[in-house]
Every structure is written in structure tokens, then in C-alpha cells.
Chains A and B, each alone.
Chain A
């Protein structure tokens, strides 16, 4: 079993009302498969804030995999990896 730790920041926390959770897969999922699975658990608002109608990553969805920004949704995730959903923000 592949267990992915998922963390939600800012608007994604507002949508899920969870700070983090574990999501299990039979085999290594892609980031897209993770998003699809999460979209079934939460309102469509979650998917809408991650990808557009054509399934492309939204320009503002800032997804970190083990702390590094994911470049596309097809990247494979491995057991124990941490995925963070956030907006890209800066400046204080």
C-alpha cells in the first residue's frame, strides 16, 4: 500500500477544513490521481482550485511534493511522500 500525506494550506484548508490527512493507494498514484481522489471527498471547489476544465494545473495552484513545487500533474508519488496544497503567496 502507498500512503501519501496530504497537507492543506490557506484556501485549501478553508475548503477541506483539515490541516492534514493520509490518503492510501494500492499502487503509486500520480498527482492527478491524488487530486481526483480528493475531489470525490470534497466539494467540486477543491478540483476547481487545482485544475481547469481541460485538466491542466491552475496557474495559481501551488502544489509542493516533499517541499518542492510540482511541475505537472503526471508526476508519480511514492509511499511516505508529503503533498502540500497552497496558493503561491509572498510578501509581508
Chain B
């Protein structure tokens, strides 16, 4: 077997047992790796009747993509998946890392955690030597402290550590596992690990990657590397990182401010990426083997927010900047370091904090609800304090908020006699997952659909992040990273018009499959068509074939992506999600954009409804968004079809 390491590690934390399950080649060929492996493992091994994400019966799967650990720049994504305490549904997060490579080199394609340990432990992996070790001395340690201690104990600075911080130990729902500043962001799998008393995984592998066709890999590397280095995004990301998006969004009238109430905040240039670069960024750093060094290492030398750290992305500069009504970049950087140390997700935490401010603004909460914190716009000191109280579950405020923002809304509703729907309306979310810093009213109908149908809840990383990629494009070769015939189809269907709803289901389904492939291969999306860049699906197939020795076309890869998406959709339907859960936030239909060049823009409910119906038809799903038996069979997912029939989710014809 080439490409795959050949073993799935199954760790029973209750019994303290570790089983090395041989990976079946067929499983690799069918689900590729990373997100694909996790989704099928969760489908097969997790009982959907278990609704509590903190039940010992929840499962956490952590898997690097199949291309992780070889020479492809940007192939280092490790995916962490579980039933999410953020949303209550299926959830995962991508960890751009070094540890994914170490895992592969040690000989493992996945780690799956079952049960719950009776004391805090960590998993030690040194090639074939895999043991659970006592982690009680790590209790309460931050992610960075844990990393330093475990590396020292391991005795090898090359060892890599995936850890949770105090937030994960305390089951704060937005807690995530991190490798230092590299975060498996999104769905709170760190809190699930915490509930299992699993503090960390420390891993070192020395076996190397198993490559089927080294010479073909060398050639594929040359092509891709040249594309990356000669493209305009290389200097852009290597200089400004994703923080550069804030400048563009503001100039383009798309920057959400004050929890999506406005598009302006005074002094916004103070949080531009150019300001970050000039005032605080010391150097740029990269993930394992990546040519693009897109992460800032920053230092705030003095003042109340003196700090240093890494990985300042757009989501933090916007989420704890303009969306919070703040332009204090030093405070934002302080918060970024704090979140990384406590082990909290940026996007969810920012949204929760900004929702609190919005409620505060409208008089729905006050000091009596926040244990004395003043949650006014731009007050970043109260934000810092609120984050700490949430991570440590301090006081009623911190304890309830740690359960998640919906739990806090229910708490306030009951306490104050306010209808809970009134409070939830303020939260920009889909399926319980709060949104990244884009605006569904402004990114195009395709992006709105893609965010809404995303299998992990609102997500720009699951498909189309913006329809705007296609604007200005008249020739298929200009649509980078997309196979020519698909690009031509997009242009023929008139998809370059972001305001258009018709035919957008074609674009969305393709990009959802595409992103599933990228996540299963373990490639950073920043280098692909998702970001308008040049690593194409054809390049991925070439790489995949060189590594595994198979002969997949891009269409074969896409079919794997479709399959993975259907597995995830089936998981969500088993949890009870239906059509009503595939809609953008209600405010996008009811509150027009208040300013900027697209003033008045709003989503059209009827047109969206029609688009969603078309999307389901295109996917081969029912009008309620349930994969049909025919669709599942065509994808080789007969076992899932049988299971859904047994559960009466797919109707059995009499």
C-alpha cells in the first residue's frame, strides 16, 4: 500500500486499550483520507441516538489527508471530527499542522478516540510505540505550556503536540485542539476531547512517506511549485496573510461591522493588514513544507496589550475588530494569543462576544446578566475578561456561556421572560454554527446557498466562499484551479453574475465536492480554486496517483468528494436535520445592507427557496434534503442506504 500509512489507531480511553486496525485499501480508495475517513468512521461507529456531545459514547476522529507527509506544498491538513458541542450536530475542524506529517511518518492514517478516561491522559506516539500516559501534571496548562512540557518529556524537539487548553478541559463548547497557534477551528472538538480527559497527542514519526511513483511525484511537484511561486497570491499571502482581506472587504463595501449591523467603523485603517505589517508583524511563518508563509509572527512590545504570538488571520482582525466595533489592533493581537493559549476557536468565540454586545446595545442584557462586565461596542477589556470567565467557567455568566451562545440565550430568555427566538435572531448562524466574517447578502447567491447547505453549519470553507471569483472572467482558462470543461460550463450558465440565483446549484455542488476532496487529500484550500488559485483538480489527481500508484482522473476524485458530502449529509439527516436547516440566517432575508455600494442588498426568500429545491434535485436528494437510495447506491454507499431505510429516514416502498 502506497500513500496511506496503513493503520487506523483506535484508542479506547475507558479501558485504556489501543488497537491498531489495518487500513483496508478499498477504504482509502473510496474515502481518500482526512475528512473522508472521519465522516465514514463517525457514520459507522457513532450511535446517532447519543445527543450529548460530552457523553463518553461520542467519538473524536483525527486524520491527516492522504497527501499529508509528502512533498506537495500545502498538503498538511489534519481533520478533527465529532458530534459538536457548538452546534449539537456533525462538526469538524481543519488543523494546518506539522503533526499530520508526523502521524503519517509514524505509520497512522487516523486516530479515533472512544470512551472516557478516569484521569487526565495524553497519547504518546513514537513510531510503533503508542501508549496512553498520565497527564495530571498538565492539568490547567495552556496549549503553549503543554507543548513545551511534552516536547521536553519526549526528548525530541521534532516531536509535535496537538493539545487542548484549559477551555477544553473545562468543556467550554468552542474549545478546539491546536498545534500551538494552528487550530482545528470551528466545532468544538477540543471540548469533546476534554470531556474524555484526553489532554494531548504527542507524535514523532521516522518511517517516512510511502510513495508509489517517486519520479512522477517529482514532476508533479515541479509543476505545482512553479504555479504557486509564480502566481500573484504567493507574494500577497507571504507578505500580508489573510489579514489582507480586511482591507479589500472594507474598500469593496463588504466588511461586516457591529455584528453585521453596518459596514463602517471609524478609523478602520488602523486594523488594515498594512498596519499589522508595519506596526506589529515581525516575520512570516509557514506550516510543514509549505512554500507560502502566510502567518504573521507578531509582537506588541508595550502597553496594556503587550503580547507576542502567531497566526493572526482575517477572522481575528475582523471578529475582534470592526465586528466588535473596535479598531484596537494591539488588543486584537492580545486576544489572538489568549485564545490560542486557552484553546478556543476564534470564529465562534468572536461571534458569541459580538452577539452579547448586540444584545447589550438593544437593552436585552445588562451587568446583572454578565456578572458585572460592560459589554459595550469596542470595549475589548470586557471581552478579554469574558473570554477568560468562559474558558474557566467562572460565575454564572462564564459557566452558562461556556455551554454555548444558544444556552446563554435560553438562560436570558427564561430569566427575563423574553422569547428565546427574539434573542437567537441576533446570532448570525446556520445549524448552530456562527458565521465567519463574510456577509451572505453580499457574496452572491451561490455563496449564500453554500454557507447554508454546508454539512457542518455556516461555513465559507465548505464550498463557494464567494461568487465574486467568477466576475471579470470571460474565458475558462481564467477560472483558475477548475477543470476547463467545468469552468466553461459555469460561464455558459451565466454564473459570473453574483446576484443571479439561477443555475447556482451547479457551481455550489461542484465546489462542495471540490472542497471535500481538498480536505480528504489534506491540502490547504488557500492554494486551490477555492481561493482563486492555481492548484487544480487535475494537479491533485496527478499528485494522488504519483503517491498512491492509482490512476484516478479528476472526475474520479470528484466522485469521492460527492461521496464524502453524501456521507456527511446522511449523518446530519440521521441527527434529524432537514430542509429548514439549510437556510441562511433570518436577518439576511429581512435586514437590507444599510450602506456601501450595494446598499439595500438583501436575500430574496422565494428565489432562495427555488434555488434550494434545484440544488436538492441536482444532488439527487429529496425535497427535504435527504439523500435517496438511488443516489447513495450510485456512490457505493449501499450500507448507508440500508441504514437510512432501517431508520425509516428513507421511505421503504411497499
Contact = CB atoms under 8 A, between A and B. Distances in A.
Interface stretch (B130-138, B472-480, B611-619): B472-480
Contacts of A68: 252, 597-598
B94 to A, nearest CB: 11
Q: What is the interface residue range for chain B against chain A?
A: 35 or more
Interface SS of B by simple majority:
helix
B313 interface: yes
A66 B15 CA distance: 63
Given A67-B251, A67-B597, A92 B242 contact: yes
A69 B472 contact: yes
A59 B479 CA distance: 7
Interface of A: 7, 9-11, 13-14, 19, 49, 57-62, 64, 66-72, 84, 86-92
Given A10-B248, A86-B248, A91 B526 contact: yes
Contact of A66 (B242, B461, B530, B597): B597
B197 interface: no
A88 B473 CA distance: 12
Nearest to A19: B274
A59 B251 CA distance: 19
Contacts of A57: 472
A20 B55 CA distance: 56
Interface stretch (B83-91, B231-239, B390-398): B231-239
Contacts of A61: 472
Nearest to B234: A11
Contact of B530 (A87, A91, A92): A91
Given A19-B274, A67-B251, A91-B460, A9 B468 contact: no
Contacts of B253: 67
Given A69-B468, A88-B532, A89-B242, 4 more contacts: A10-B240, A89-B237, A90-B460, A92-B242
Nearest to A48: B232
Contacts of B531: 89-91
Nearest to B317: A92
Contact of A10 (B236, B318, B472): B236
B290 to A, nearest CB: 15
A90 B318 contact: no
B233 A87 contact: yes
A86 B251 contact: yes
A72 B471 CA distance: 10
Interface string B449-461: 0000000000011
CB-CB nearest 7 A-B residue pairs = A92-B314, A67-B597, A59-B478, A67-B253, A92-B315, A92-B242, A92-B313
